[in-house]
Amino acid sequence: MRKPITTSLILTAILGIGPIHAQTATTAAPAAGPSDLERRFDGLIDAAEMTGWMKTMTAEPNQVGSPHDRANAEMVLGLFKDWGWDAHIETFRVLYPTPISETLELTAPARFKATLTEPPIPGDESTYRMQNALPAYVAYQGDGDVTAPLVYVNYGMKEDYDALERLGVSVKGKIVIARYGVGWRGLKPKLAQQHGAVGCIIYSDPRDDGYTAEDAYPKGSARPPQGFQRGSVADMTLYPGDPLTPGVGATENAQRLAIKDSPVILKIPVLPISYSDAQHFLAALDGRVVPPQWRGSLPITYHVGGGGAVQAHIAVKSDWSLKPIYDVVATIPGTANPDQWVMRGNHHDGWVDGAEDPMSGQVALLAEAKAIGTLVKQGWRPKRTLVYLSWDAEEPMLLGSTEWAEQHADELKQKGLIYINTDGTSRGFLSAEGSHSLQHVINEIAANVTDPETGVSILARKRAQLEVIGTNPGANEEARENAKIAADPSKDIPIGALGSGSDYSAFLQHLGLPAVNLAFGAEGSVGGVYHSAYDTFEFYTRIADPGLRYSRALAQAAGTLALRFADADVPPQRYGDFADTVAGYLNEVKKLADTRRDAADMQAKMLASNAFHLVDDPGKSSGPPDALKPVPHFNFAPLENAVDRLKKSAKAYDAALAQRAAKLSPKTRSELFAMTRETEETLAPDVGLPGRTWYKNLMYAPGSLTGYAAKTMPAVREAIEQERWDDADRYVAITAAALQAYSDKLDRAVQLMGTAQTTAAR
């Protein structure tokens, strides 16, 4: 459900290129071509067939609870069975509210009733088949009916409320209007509610994904005037999955919270609207002109509002009954190690037709499954068990994957080797994010997948992209460093860290299993039809990825990675990448503390010298900012020692594997595979992150104030960002202990391989 990778984001880490800590460790192996098996697999993927499946699956709106979503699950089940998989549907019963009525209007100074509808687009037949489509709605908002003054809050992030406070504008008792972007959708009403707002409107500004970005659909991929973005606003940063069953599967008889007690459900009504509707509200606003960073590109002067003269009325009513969801689970048992599971998933529910999100990834998964089925029919068998997963209800809050992972947690923590995720994809460049022990194998596989547009490998094209971005005159330091790495063929290109926004979350962040998310993007779409009625088969096949060539490349990359794990002799992991990456995170966190300490010191002086008052334009005066807490010096030594050891242990492991791989017994190989899982799990001790213990991974989490975007070394980093000094101290120790345990596992593996080299915890 994360927004597609767009060109407007190509200078950011969302490319799947994270901070560049991994350049020194594992050097790229001399290009090992694909195996015979991988070559055969590739030959079995048929884009025309994928297009057919997409057409069927997007023939009608397929949101959770819709007839077509259920039909799609049944179809997928049937296909898996046809292809020889052992498949079934696993059902959960989840809280999933559905809309009964929605109203949004401006009541003063003039009256305007928001249309809240997406009209059909001539030339796109799918947009005429919207009888079963969800209206303008966001899941898990809080039903209500309020009329109140309106305030524009920019992206509705923490810093926007800080700015509002300095402007002397309170949102207490008011309705806020926020634009989509910067942070995750759900944080906007959450922060509004925390600041006392009684309602929240979220609109798509044309500057971000409308006419400013590109020609509107159907000419281009930008948002048409009346398009709006549906989505979920449950507090994913606390936990994803069913709001009533945190930590356990939402089975028929599961213990459930009362709705009113679920901490992830909002209390205020929220509606998403188009910029065509929003302009009427924004143009009416009075009060101060917005700060420069708050400007959108509607042809108006944006004002903050907040006075009583402009009033809005928002009313939302929902059906809060439990609904069934349908996960399709398909397996091919491993011959040598049936209890080692290679998992591969993509969701099948959309917000409307969902051609790009999720069907472009769903049909890739189906193509892989069919090809694997054919290989099996031809006599091949995987050494380890393949588990293919077609999730339901990802959109509302990763429900299908989370409930399944929670339900099978114990088994997965014993058997799961890797979880490989995809979601929407489109034309462009590879984006790979995941556990950094997987960085090298992802580079290897990317070197063997041909880019449909250029004929070079998707790795070579990615390298070219990083070089071009990083040598742009406006490139930041990270981009410049990435360009240097990309230009050096002896170095692997770094993968990004995973935050949230798709079905890997429970596997990586709750269970601590290795996980990866793969996608293509940055050419096919600026994201203007995302979660709207315009993400149709016509849109996808004419604009986002004609011929499904990148959807096919995604099947090739994800499927090859699954096969590699299912069939390899020794684990594909390399740990030098991880060690260097973590060393980089630690440097960032230390620098963060220093930077914030300097900022707090400087600000204290400025508050004392009245500097903020002195720069004030008396016609537009602002209060001083809230005083930053003085930042102490932290004892980072435990982490520094743990990272030093990790580097040694990782180096020893990688070296031992390189030396000894060919000489190991089947039993040792099997044990090594099991140890990759155990090693990764050390990063997710039961203690969890401060204040949100569902998230257990101490290396990767969605940011509690950014949403989808990853925070690395999150417990320590966010403690510093959020001025929780005790948590910082405590989690330095906890994170260091986890890294020591990680090194212990690596050392044990080195012993297993029969080399004497070990390192010791200090």
174 within 8 A of 151, measured Cβ to Cβ: yes
- Answer yes or no whether residue 307 interacts with its own copies by CB under 8 A: no
- How far is C-alpha 156 from the chain's CA centre? 20
Give the binding range for its own copies (CB under 8 A) out of 71-79, 82-90, 293-301, 736-744. Answer: 293-301
**519 near its own copies (CB under 8 A):** no
- At a CB cut-off of 8 Å and minimum separation 6, what does 474 contact? 11
Alpha-carbon distance 502 to 422, whole Å? 8
Binder among 76, 363, 483, 519 for its own copies (CB under 8 A):
483
Site membership for its own copies, residue 427 (CB under 8 A): yes
| Residue 724 touching its own copies (CB under 8 A) | no
Closer residue to its own copies (CB): 222 or 398: 222
Rounded to the nearest 10 degrees, how much is the dihedral formed by the CA atoms of 740, 743, 744, 748?
180
Task: Rank residues 488 and 640 by Cβ distance to its own copies and give the closer one.
Answer: 488
* DSSP H or E run through 22: none
Interface with its own copies, residue 431, by CB under 8 A: no
What Rg do the C-alpha atoms of the chain give, in angstroms?
25
**# residues contacting its own copies (CB under 8 A):** 53
Q: Where are the beta strands (DSSP E) in 76-119?
A: 86-95, 98-108, 112-113
Note whether 28 binds its own copies by CB under 8 A: no
Q: How far is the CB of 358 from its own copies (least distance, A)?
A: 24
Identified binder of its own copies from the candidate list 72, 237, 402, 603, rule CB under 8 A: 603
| Cα distance between residue 511 and residue 513, in whole Å | 6
Q: Which of 86, 215, 411, 594 is close enough to bind its own copies by CB under 8 A?
A: 215
Site for its own copies contains 227 (CB under 8 A): no
If the CB atoms of residues 125 and 215 are measured against its own copies, the closer one turns out to be 215
CB 420 to its own copies: min, Å? 26
The Cα 461–Cα 84 span in angstroms is 36
Applying CB under 8 A, does 9 fall inside the site for its own copies? no
Q: Is 610 in the site for its own copies (CB under 8 A)?
A: yes
Residue 523 binds its own copies (CB under 8 A): yes
Output the smallest distance, CB 614 to its own copies, in A: 4
The piece of 232-240, 465-473, 724-732, 737-745 that touches its own copies (CB under 8 A) is 465-473
Q: Between the CA of residue 542 and those of 197, 218, 299, 388, what are the distances in Å? A: 42, 9, 30, 29
Q: Out of 29, 146, 257, 464, point to the residue binding its own copies (CB under 8 A).
A: 464
Among residues 125, 145, 453, 626, the one that binds its own copies under rule CB under 8 A? 453
Q: Which of 409, 456, 568, 687 binds its own copies (CB under 8 A)?
A: 456
Which residues, in sequence order, are CB contacts of 672 under 8 Å at separation 6+?
A: 570, 571, 657, 664, 749, 752, 753
Helix (H, G, I), strand (E, B) or coil at 175: strand
Decide whether 60 or 545 has the Cβ nearer to its own copies: 545
Using an 8 Å Cβ cutoff, are 21 and 494 in contact? yes
Task: In whole angstroms, give the CA distance from residue 436 to residue 26.
Answer: 11
Which lies closer to its own copies via its Cβ, residue 259 or residue 599?
A: 599
Residue 216 sits in the site that holds its own copies (CB under 8 A):
yes
* 298 touches its own copies by CB under 8 A: yes
CB 115 within 8 A of CB 239: no
C-alpha distance from residue 724 to each of 192, 271, 291 (Å): 22, 33, 29
- Decide whether 38 or 209 has the Cβ nearer to its own copies: 209
Residue of 44, 468, 687, 733 that binds its own copies (CB under 8 A): 468
Return the closest-CA partner of residue 426 out of 540, 533, 348, 516: 540
Stretch touching its own copies by CB under 8 A, among 215-223, 238-246, 321-329, 662-670 = 215-223
- Is residue 463 at the binding interface for its own copies, with CB under 8 A as the rule? yes
Segment near its own copies (CB under 8 A); pick from 298-306, 496-504, 527-535, 658-666? 298-306
Cβ-contact 163, 196 below 8 angstroms: no
Taking residues 263 to 292 in sequence order and writing x for each that binds its own copies by CB under 8 A, - otherwise, the string is --------------------------x--x
Interaction between residue 246 and its own copies (CB under 8 A):
no
Q: Which residue has the tokens 């048929």?
A: 46
Candidates 355, 477, 331, 498; CA nearest to 415 is 331
Residue 278 Cα to chain centre, angstroms:
27
Burial class of residue 55 (count of CB atoms within 10 Å of its CB; 0-12, 13-18, 19+): middle
CB of 618 to its own copies, least distance (A): 5
Q: Does 295 bind its own copies (CB under 8 A)?
A: yes
Residue 120: CB minimum distance to its own copies, A:
21
State yes or no: residue 487 binds its own copies (CB under 8 A): yes
Check binding of 659 to its own copies (CB under 8 A): no
Q: Which of 519, 148, 570 is nearest to 336 (CA)?
A: 570
- Specify the stretch interacting with its own copies by CB under 8 A; choose among 127-135, 376-384, 462-470, 579-587: 462-470
Please, which residues have CB within 8 angstroms of residue 81's CB and are 6 or more apart in sequence?
87
**H-helix or E-strand containing 413?**
helix 409-415
* Residues in touch with its own copies (CB under 8 A): 7-8, 206-207, 211-216, 220, 222, 289, 292, 295, 297-301, 427-429, 453-454, 456, 460-461, 463-465, 467-468, 471, 483, 487, 523, 599, 602-603, 605-606, 609-619
